Amino acid sequence: MKPFKYIYNLLILTFVATLLGACVDALDEPLENQFLVEGTDYSESQNMVLLLYGSYAQLYGMQWETHPILGVRGDDVNAAGDQFPLIETDEFRYDRNFWMYNSVWLNLYSDLLYWHGAIEEIEKYQEAGASEANAQQYIAEIKVMQGFKMLQLARLWGAILIPLESQPSHLFNVQVSEFSEVLEYISGYMDEAIPFLPAVHPADRSDVTGGITRYTALAVKAMANLELQNYPVVVAATDEIISSGMFELKDDFYNLFKIPGKLDRENILEMQYSDFGQASGTVTRFNWNFYGPALWTPAVSGAGGGWGFWEPTTKYIKFMLDRGERIRLETSVLFTPDGMNEIRSDPDFAELPAWISNITRDGDQFNNHPRYNFLSGKHYLPSVQLTPGRFTYGENKNFTAIRYAEILLMHAEAQVSGAGSAVLSAEEAVNAVRARAGLDPAPVVDLDVVLDEKFAEFGMEWGVRFNDLIRHNRTEELNYEGRNFNLQNHRFLPYPLEQQDIIPQIREAAEARNQ
């Protein structure tokens, strides 16, 4: 019984703490102020929406360690600093005892179980007479949240448990589903949600600004089917998003990832945070410290830094220089003086473009530090964009999860892999992204061109590069700087040892992998 109590107590805390907001402003409240109201009167249908607000708060409450584990294994980014097990993960030497594996597992499963609980509560309001249309829309939005997070679980561990209800104990009776089965489940789950979701741009929602829409569900469906290599379904989903005319590429790529990019027409899903434009008081924030500089001279005196654990690779930087990239390289990579010297030490890059500097266009200076030579610009907020009086690194910055650029390039990838579209050709999709980057059109678009474009566009974002290379069996690209990737052994992380000790099915799945 002790192991069960451990997982139950650990997971249920999040579920109970945030299931129901105390007021209609729950999205703006710190998570600790949201609580489960005992003795709920389900006839008070006006309170049903609080479950939706709490679900968004759970989505935006993503813990900082989740994204690094998702993305660290690609050839676009290296783990920097002194986090030895994370560096080992980056180099395909996995330790099932690594605390971050278990933390990410619990983070994602806590979300999934919490959202099942929210759905169960909404159904009770519906049974008590609340609006069926509202209830079905709220449930559909939550299903998309679940689909997105389940996709991340599957990308990390392959075969996983698919939660079907809110009680953690029921996981003991759930069979492990193979990677393809999970993806098929996600695709079908999105089909269940799509009919009930508003067909608007997220920024145009009047009830939950920036919330999930029909197009978010279609994007998650496309992502799941891309992993399945079910390319006609990918094209069908991306066709609808493109045909809607509601999304466009932001001209200013640099600011897309900063304050001016909040709720941009390019964004399909973004985690939202705010300091409400006030120098002090209530704030909802993501912990950007992992990506921030350990030593810098900000333009705004007193602006805080970070830990410096996320470093773009020299391979990525040289790839971008070879392509003549400026705006995407300037946006994606922050240089230190040592970093510039490292690139110059290669005779092929002895002369760097004059625009490359350790001082950004916003006046922040990135100084040398023993942990890293480069930092991720996509996770950087210029100090001049901080609300006056606020000094925490990255405060008020949103975390973009799905962009229209990804829709266009998934659309192109599916077409060059055999699917067809009457809405937009692969050439048109790729060249739209290239035009925004200031590049000439590609005369021919094939899989090589598409994957290169995705490498350039999505460096440091959500493990896109790693999954692209795996999907097309191009894993030799991962064997850079002495790495030795083996598809059978390294595609998925080992199940966390703590979960193997708790859940028999996971232990059995781990043993089967090791045979």
pLDDT per position as a tens digit, 43-66: 999 999 999 999 999 999 999 999
Query: Model pTM?
Result: 0.92
11 and 154 fall within a common domain: yes
Domain range for 131 is 2-175+491-513
In a domain, 348, yes or no: yes
Contact 58, 456 (CB under 8 A): no
In a domain, 72, yes or no: yes
387 and 499 fall within a common domain: no
Spatial neighbors of 205 by CB under 8 A, at least 6 apart, are: 198, 211, 213
162 and 20 fall within a common domain: yes
Distances (CA, A) of 415 to 37, 216, 439: 50, 21, 22
pLDDT per position as a tens digit, 170-209: 999 999 999 999 999 999 999 999 999 999 999 999 999 9
506 and 371 fall within a common domain: no
Domain count, the chain: 2
Tell which of 394, 411, 431 closes a domain. 394
| Closest to 292 in 3D by CA, of 63, 70, 80, 76 | 80
In a domain, 334, yes or no: yes
pLDDT per position as a tens digit, 407-466: 999 999 999 999 999 999 999 999 999 999 999 999 999 999 999 999 999 999 999 999
End-to-end CA distance of the chain: give it in Å, rounded. 29
Q: Which amino acid is at 287?
A: N
Tell which of 394, 425, 443 closes a domain. 394
Contact 126, 135 (CB under 8 A): yes
In a domain, 150, yes or no: yes
CA distance 461 to 484: 23
| Closest to 307 in 3D by CA, of 289, 286, 295 | 289
pLDDT per position as a tens digit, 359-409: 999 999 999 999 999 999 999 999 999 999 999 999 999 999 999 999 999
Q: What is the CATH number of the domain that holds 130?
A: 1.25.40
The answer on pLDDT for 12 being more than 70 is no
385 and 500 fall within a common domain: no
In a domain, 452, yes or no: no
In a domain, 81, yes or no: yes
In a domain, 80, yes or no: yes
19 and 125 fall within a common domain: yes
377 and 509 fall within a common domain: no
Contact 362, 380 (CB under 8 A): no
In a domain, 329, yes or no: yes
The answer on pLDDT for 10 being more than 90 is no
Tell which of 394, 424, 440 closes a domain. 394
- For residue 223, what are its two tokens? 């992502």
